[in-house]
Amino acid sequence: MRETAAAESRPYHHGDLSRALIDAARRLLESEGPSALSLRAVAREAGVSPAAPYHHFKDKGELLEAVAAEGWDLLNESLAAARKSANSVKDKLTALGVAYVVFARENPSLYRIMYDGSRNKEELPSHVHLEDDSAYCQVRDTLVEAGADPTDEIALELATTAAWCAAHGLAEMASFKQFDTLKSALGSEEAFLRGVFDHMRIFADDHGK
Amino acid sequence: MRETAAAESRPYHHGDLSRALIDAARRLLESEGPSALSLRAVAREAGVSPAAPYHHFKDKGELLEAVAAEGWDLLNESLAAARKSANSVKDKLTALGVAYVVFARENPSLYRIMYDGSRNKEELPSHVHLEDDSAYCQVRDTLVEAGADPTDEIALELATTAAWCAAHGLAEMASFKQFDTLKSALGSEEAFLRGVFDHMRIFADDHGK
DNA sequence: AGTATATCTGGACGCCGTAAAGATCATCTT
DNA sequence: AAGATGATCTTTACGGCGTCCAGATATACT
């Protein structure tokens, strides 16, 4: 009478329902978009009753936070990969910016979840800022590699913030139809992104010289 | 038996309910935040039945669009004022950016409504881009005043987009608690904003020379 | 006047998030 | 081995939501 799927020796009845709920949520997010992501729909998708999630998450927001956390992990990986594959030191920061925006384009619903929770709490998840290979720290380290002065902490934080804001702003704008003509005039979306970044000192300069 | 308030000689029973609904929505938005902005709550606030709005707006989204449109108008005015009051030509663009972010901080719920509708349709309201004193055009014109080459259309559009993205990105980030220490290290929020903008060529350079 | 038409109300439907009470089952104690 | 414990899940229920429909109401036209 046991379900054939899922791990055998997990805590209780279902076998790691929180994991299953997060997966169900991400499945729904990709197939139906953020507006279809109700707690009941997630429970339905996972095959449990509407109240079951409450034994694993305080409320809907806490489930979304767990989904968002996985989004941040994915973003970190994308950025790390872009950092490695960049040709020159000079190009690394732009590559990072492009990778950031491309991530948002390829995971639009997830990206939205990542920031929606933060906006309500008025702070980003702390591990985004603090952990060593977090997205924020990767940007900061890349700035240093590109020539920023690591001893001037305030300037470094400001520059990192500027880069982050630029990437986030572009990530939210790039999908607007208004830019279609510009994109096709430039030949590709990536050319458009690089074009925008090229108009920001942070993505073009060698920092102060 | 007539209500004493509101204009007397308007179309029907209520006397311009759509106006009253938009006002009610903005009142609710300020007092309770975006999550409290249900269509029913708006109707309640306006003193009509839950179904009444459907004679003036196709659905909830269309009402929110009307609210957002007023938000864009307000933003345009803020930017125009900032443009006028800026001291030097060189400072105009930064002043514009600061004004943009300050608008978002002072009208956080309205600012969210303005972009939420756009995100769903994947395009900004057309008058934001097209009309002559629209926010976008004000930024573009200011860039030209600051020395950008108006004949290179593509570069101008890219630069405008870069400035817009930077301002939007910072507007969404600036309220995060993570930046509190940086703000107080710099003495004020405006110093923080200018500090971030200063790390973007678009807000600091004289454009190509 | 009488008719058409735009506007508003009341009630209904199926969703939603969430809470409380009861059933079920792994684990712990003895 | 047996029973108690407590976590997990289901059922049921509540109020709120967006939206539709049928009827009431008041304006405008002829």
Instruction: Give pLDDT, residue B34.
Output: 97
Among A123-127, B4-8, B114-118, the range scoring the smallest mean pLDDT is B4-8
Q: Considering the domain A64-204 in this protein, what is its CATH number?
A: 1.10.357
Question: What CA–CA distance (Å, rounded) separates B134 from A199?
Answer: 21
Domain ranges of chain B: 11-57, 61-203
Instruction: Give pLDDT, residue B207.
Output: 43
Asked if B152 and B140 touch (Cβ cutoff 8 Å), the reply is: no
Instruction: Give pLDDT, residue B206.
Output: 44
Q: Give residue A186's pLDDT band: very low, low, confident or very high (50, 70, 90).
A: very high
Asked if B63 and B46 touch (Cβ cutoff 8 Å), the reply is: no
Task: Return the residue of B nearest to A126 by Cα.
Answer: B178
Whether chain B has a CB inside 8 Å of the CB on A208: the answer is no
Other CB atoms within 10 A of residue A142 CB: 22
For the stretch B48-78, pLDDT in tens is 999 999 999 999 999 999 999 999 999 999 9
Mean pLDDT of B148-169: 95
Instruction: Give pLDDT, residue A10.
Output: 42
Instruction: Give pLDDT, residue B202.
Output: 60
Instruction: Give pLDDT, residue B91.
Output: 85
CATH architecture of B11-57: Orthogonal Bundle (1.10)
A1-57 adopts what CATH topology? Arc Repressor Mutant, subunit A (1.10.10)
Mean pLDDT of A102-107: 98
pLDDT(B3) > 90: no
Q: Which long-range contacts (CB under 8 A, 24 or more apart) does A173-180 make?
A: A173/B161, A173/B164, A173/B165, A173/B168, A174/A101, A174/A104, A174/A105, A175/A105, A175/A108, A175/B122, A176/B118, A176/B122, A176/B123, A176/B124, A177/B122, A177/B123, A178/B123, A178/B124, A178/B129, A179/B161
Instruction: Give pLDDT, residue B10.
Output: 42
Q: Which nucleotides of D are covered by protein (CB under 7 A)?
A: 7-13, 16-22, 25-28
pLDDT(B40) > 80: yes
* Helices within A9-134 (DSSP H only): 17-32, 39-46, 60-85, 89-106, 108-121, 126-130
Q: Distance between terminal CA atoms of chain B? A: 71
Whether A166 sits inside 8 A of B164 (CB atoms) is no
CATH architecture of B61-203: Orthogonal Bundle (1.10)
Instruction: Give pLDDT, residue B139.
Output: 94
For the stretch A42-73, pLDDT in tens is 999 999 999 999 999 999 999 999 999 999 99
Q: Which nucleotides of C are covered by protein (CB under 7 A)?
A: 6-12, 15-21, 24-27
Question: What CA–CA distance (Å, rounded) separates B28 from B33?
Answer: 7
